[in-house]
């Protein structure tokens, strides 16, 4: 076993996945702690109701920003894999500007419809004040994720890991603590802190993106509109996945109270712990898969996928066991009222276990030219999710929303793994043989 471990670490690809993946995981855990502390402070100071309103605001930010960035962040990976494109700052800034314009338009729509969304859709008049800060945040978050996509494409994994989420919550937490000093009684303090935190991170991300290029130019030999056309299926897939992750919160917002949404959101945050190893591994895996597949290196291609899947499943299994054992302690940290989310947390953990068993289905498909097939698979999963949410949530509340999420997630991952096995004769799922 010791000999095998040494051989594994000496393998260049395995070593990069383990070392850079660990760096990514460290940053994600740091961001998670910042996010948890942010939620903890909001829950303790303002209660589950405000946590629920914040969750609905985040839902809109995440869902609309996926359209705003047009799939650019993902399509930058195969584009910058080619050495000849490494210094094409013109293409990057052209597509970034387009993303900013579209996301700003979407933000304007949200602002103009804030009363309709708050009162007519969610029947929560108190949400209207949050919509203003939500709209302002959408283009800023779009900028951050497009820049993060550039860092990932250029294999600046630490920067990608930081800007992909941890930076947002770290800056938000710092701003929140500062604002607590002067205006603690403001019920909008948390959403304001989030806006200012995202603004700071957006400015830093653009500055660092500029530093990645030896020469800054708005000219490019590549057609930016053709680039967006190629990115379109990735945008749709990304949008569907984001919706899959937020439909439950959205439907809960229609049928349940702010308090129920707040409890569900905390359970979801804890369950998300189990996905960090997959995110860490995928951050390294995507450019490697794209490279080996294009170069026809099938042995390396299959070997790295098998290693990534197996190591991810083992890590995820350990985390899930720990969460199951400590679930009451973890939920109780946010307040006794959050203990009602125990069953929801356990159901969501089951979904993450299925996810890790299936492997990096989405990344493999998007990096091997199967993005349209992947888009169709997740679209069907989204339809299943929406139908089940509207059937189960009114009857079973947060538990129904969790079941709908897990069933749709299982379909998407299992079907994707089966498709890869039949189409590419590739085993993406956990397999020790």
For residues 386 and 274, which has the higher predicted lDDT (pLDDT)? 386
79 lies in some domain: yes
Range of 177-181, 297-301, 344-348 with top mean pLDDT: 344-348
227 lies in some domain: yes
How many CB atoms sit inside 10 A of residue 157's CB?
Answer: 21
429 lies in some domain: no
Q: Residue 292 pLDDT more than 90?
A: no
176 lies in some domain: yes
What confidence category does residue 136 fall into, taking pLDDT thresholds of 50, 70 and 90?
very high
159 lies in some domain: yes
Q: What is the pLDDT of residues 45-97, one digit of tens each?
A: 777 778 778 888 887 887 788 777 777 777 777 777 666 656 667 777 888 88
Q: How far apart are CA 431 and CA 40, in angstroms?
A: 39
Q: How far apart are CA 391 and CA 343, in angstroms?
A: 19
80, HSE (Cβ side, Cα atoms, 13 Å): 25
Q: What is the DSSP letter of 82?
A: S
313 lies in some domain: yes
432 lies in some domain: no
The percentage of residues in the chain with a pLDDT greater than 70, rounded to a whole number, is 84
165: helix, strand or coil: coil
Angle between helices 128-153 and 276-295 (to 10 degrees): 40
Q: How far apart are CA 233 and CA 423, in angstroms?
A: 19
Domains contained in the chain, number: 1
Q: How far apart are CA 305 and CA 300, in angstroms?
A: 9
The pLDDT score that the predictor gives to residue 189 is 86
Range of 183's domain?
2-423
433 lies in some domain: no
Find out whether 199 and 181 touch, Cβ atoms under 8 Å: no
The pLDDT score that the predictor gives to residue 8 is 46
Q: What is the pLDDT of residues 326-360, one digit of tens each?
A: 888 888 877 777 788 889 889 988 888 888 888 77
């Amino acid at each position: 076993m010791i000999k095998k471990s040494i051989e594994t670490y000496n393998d260049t690809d395995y070593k990069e996945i383990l070392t850079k993946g660990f760096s990514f995981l460290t940053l994600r855990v740091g961001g998670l702690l910042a996010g948890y502390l942010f939620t903890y402070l909001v829950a303790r100071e303002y209660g589950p109701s405000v946590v629920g309103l914040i969750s609905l605001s985040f839902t809109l930010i995440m869902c609309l920003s996926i359209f705003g960035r047009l799939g650019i962040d993902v399509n930058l990976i195969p584009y910058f894999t080619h050495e000849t494109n490494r210094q094409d700052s013109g293409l990057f800034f052209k597509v970034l500007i387009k993303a900013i314009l579209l996301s700003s338009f979407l933000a304007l729509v949200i602002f103009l419809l804030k009363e309709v969304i708050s009162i007519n859709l969610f029947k929560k008049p108190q949400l209207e004040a949050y919509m203003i800060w939500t709209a302002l945040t959408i283009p800023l978050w779009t900028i951050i994720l497009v820049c993060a996509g550039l860092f990932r494409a250029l294999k600046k994994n630490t920067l990608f890991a930081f800007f992909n989420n941890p930076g947002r919550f770290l800056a938000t937490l710092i701003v929140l603590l500062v604002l607590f000093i002067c205006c603690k009684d403001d019920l909008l303090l948390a959403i304001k802190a989030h806006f200012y935190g995202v603004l700071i991170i957006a400015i830093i991300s653009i500055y660092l993106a500029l530093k990645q290029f030896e020469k800054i130019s708005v000219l490019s030999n590549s057609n930016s509109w053709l680039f967006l056309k190629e990115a379109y299926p990735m945008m749709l897939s990304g949008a569907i996945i984001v919706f899959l992750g937020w439909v439950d919160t959205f439907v809960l917002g229609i049928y349940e109270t702010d308090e129920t949404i707040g409890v569900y959101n905390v359970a979801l945050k804890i369950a998300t712990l189990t996905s960090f190893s997959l995110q860490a591994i995928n951050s390294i895996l995507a450019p490697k898969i794209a490279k080996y597949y294009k170069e026809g290196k099938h042995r390396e291609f299959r070997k790295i996928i098998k290693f990534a899947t197996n190591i991810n499943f083992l890590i995820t299994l350990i985390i899930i066991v720990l969460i199951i054992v400590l679930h009451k302690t973890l939920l109780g940290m946010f307040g006794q009222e959050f203990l009602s989310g125990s069953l929801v947390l356990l159901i969501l953990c089951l979904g993450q276990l299925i996810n890790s068993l299936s492997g990096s289905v989405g990344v493999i498909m998007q990096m091997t030219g199967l993005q349209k097939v992947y888009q169709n698979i997740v679209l069907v999963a989204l339809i299943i999710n929406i139908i089940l949410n509207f059937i189960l949530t009114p009857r079973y509340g947060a538990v129904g929303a969790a079941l709908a999420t897990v069933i749709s997630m299982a379909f998407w991952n299992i079907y994707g793994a089966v498709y890869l096995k039949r189409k590419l004769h590739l085993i993406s799922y956990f397999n020790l043989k």
